[in-house]
Amino acid sequence: MLTTIPGPCYAQLNERLVASIEESVTAVSSPISPGTHDSLDVAAKRLRALSAAHSSGSQGKPAIRLDGVTHYFVSQNQAARVVDDISFEMPAGQFLAIVGPSGCGKTTVLNMIAGLVSPSVGHVWRNGSPVAETGRDIGYMLARDSLLPWRTAQANIEMGLEVRDVPRASRRVTAERLLNALSLRGLGELYPSQLSQGMRQRVALARTLAYEPAFLLMDEPFAALDAQTRLMVQAEFIRVWEGTGTSVVFVTHDLEEAVVLADRVMVFSARPARILLDIMVPLTRPRSVESARYGEEFDRTHREIWRHLRDEVVRASA
């Protein structure tokens, strides 16, 4: 399996603890005496400090950091602001989902983290160093599978390893393992044109995971799948991802997907993108994608996000 990074995982666990404590604080705040509330609050603060100390101790810097990032789309006679002064930090191992109305600039932010776009103003850091080019520590995935049609499924999966000069035998082992993990057993020799949409997107996922990137940057990766296939692929993805310590930034327009998959959800405003809401998802890990969407925590988080998003969607479509 993919490597585990112990440090950031602890940080992530701590953060989840903080989140769950905070949640219980709000849940029980009114009927309980102020004393209890305070002590819980203090515990939460201490844990948060601990977690921050841990992540800064082991990693030095947050895995991803955006500082005052603003971006313009420049055309012949005008420059339109698409991203407006976005700053945030993300610890290693976290799964961050970004939701927002269509065309709001989510993809641009993702592409800036990937190094495909450089911000007009501000800075982006990945693992403590400023992002200049794409680099070799990211895995990037789109809604369109964009598999190379002249390569077999297996050769597509091996692409990232091939450019890293990994020997053929070891490439094959990795591809084989991922084919099995993503229910693609025996399909390695087929060309993309011979595969269904769901299979192709699984191959694209396998290609992204094959070289064990430290960051997964995903732009609505499952949006093109039909509803049932999407559920299956989401579940497989979470099963493969959990325990890897890989940091994920996941852009989606599907609120349910955001809540079910992510540790943390950010809501972006209509263009130009600003952060409207930044909340932790109070669901535990390991998580079952199938059952996570039935429950009080899910409903509450979903409602909270939608409350912020609804006006923006109206604004964006107006």
Q: Which residues of the shown chain bind another protein in the complex (CB under 8 A)?
A: 114, 116, 134-136, 138-140, 142, 144, 146, 148-151, 159-160, 162-164, 191-193, 207, 211, 217
Name the minimum Å distance from CB 248 to another protein: 14
If the CB atoms of residues 73 and 191 are measured against another protein, the closer one turns out to be 191
The whole-angstrom separation of Cα 74 and Cα 60 is 36
Q: Which residues partner with 268 through β-bridges?
A: 275
By beta-carbon proximity to another protein, the closer residue of 141 and 262 is 141
Closest CB to another protein among residues 65, 207: 207
In the beta sheet, which residues pair with residue 273? 83
**Which CB atom, from 58 or from 146, has the smaller least distance to another protein?**
146
Residue 72, classed as helix, strand or coil, is: strand
Residue 260 to residues 198, 216, 238, 280, 285, Cα–Cα distance (Å) = 20, 17, 10, 12, 11
Q: Residue 83, by phi and psi: left (phi above 0), alpha (psi -120 to 50) or beta?
A: beta
Read off the DSSP letter of residue 183.
T
Nearer to another protein, 25 or 159 (CB): 159
Q: CB 96 → another protein: shortest distance, Å?
A: 18
Strand partners, 249: 96, 217
| Residue placing its CB nearer to another protein in the complex, 163 or 173 | 163
Give the closest residue to 157 by CA, choosing from 175, 176, 132.
Answer: 175
Q: Report d(CA 315, CA 128) in Å as an integer.
A: 36
> Judged by CB, which is closer to another protein: 89, or 162?
162
Amino acid sitting at position 260: V
Smallest distance, Å, CB 151 to another protein?
Answer: 8
Answer yes or no: are the C-beta atoms of 263 and 15 closer than 8 Å.
yes
Nearer to another protein by Cβ, of 163 and 314: the residue is 163
d(CA 12, CA 108): 26
> Minimum distance between the CB of residue 304 and another protein, rounded to whole angstroms?
32
Measured CA to CA, the distance from residue 208 to residue 160 in angstroms comes to 8
Shortest spacing between CB 233 and another protein, in angstroms: 18
DSSP assignment letter at 192: G
What is the DSSP secondary-structure string of 41-66? HHHHHHHHHHHHHHHHHHHSS-SEEE
Strand partners, 71: 83
User: What's the min distance (Å) between Cβ of 115 and another protein?
Assistant: 8
Min dist CB 132 to another protein, Å, is 13
Report the side by side order of strands in the sheet with 64-74: 79-90, 64-74, 121-126, 129-130
Report, in Å, the least distance between residue 190 CB and another protein. 10
